[in-house]
Amino acid sequence: MSIDRIVFAFAGTVILTSLALSQYHTVEWLWLTAFVGANLFQSAFTGFCPLAMVLKMLGAKPGCAFK
């Protein structure tokens, strides 16, 4: 699995988890959703993603978006 797919899967998992937590616990969990969305948005333009950097150091194979 490439870094791109891992990043997208992780972001989707965090977003869905925070949405569920906002429904069953407190609405404050939506801040996590906003944070992940903002990071995805900025990485689309800059190519900078902290998770992609960590995955690269751990030896995951690069994809098209994060090299």
Q: Are 65 and 6 in contact (CB under 8 A)?
A: no
| Region class of 59: left (phi > 0), else alpha (psi between -120 and 50), else beta | left
Q: pLDDT by residue (tens digit) across 29-58?
A: 999 999 999 999 999 999 899 999 999 999
Phi and psi at residue 47, to the nearest 5°: 80, 5
Which residues have a Cβ under 8 Å from the Cβ of 33 and sit 6 or more positions away? 14, 15, 18, 19, 22
Provide the residue ranges of all domains of the chain, joining segments of one domain with +: 3-57
- Distance, in Å, from the CA atom of 66 to the CA atom of 28, rounded to the nearest integer, reads 30
Q: Does 65 score more than 90 pLDDT?
A: no
Supply the pTM of this predicted model. Answer: 0.88
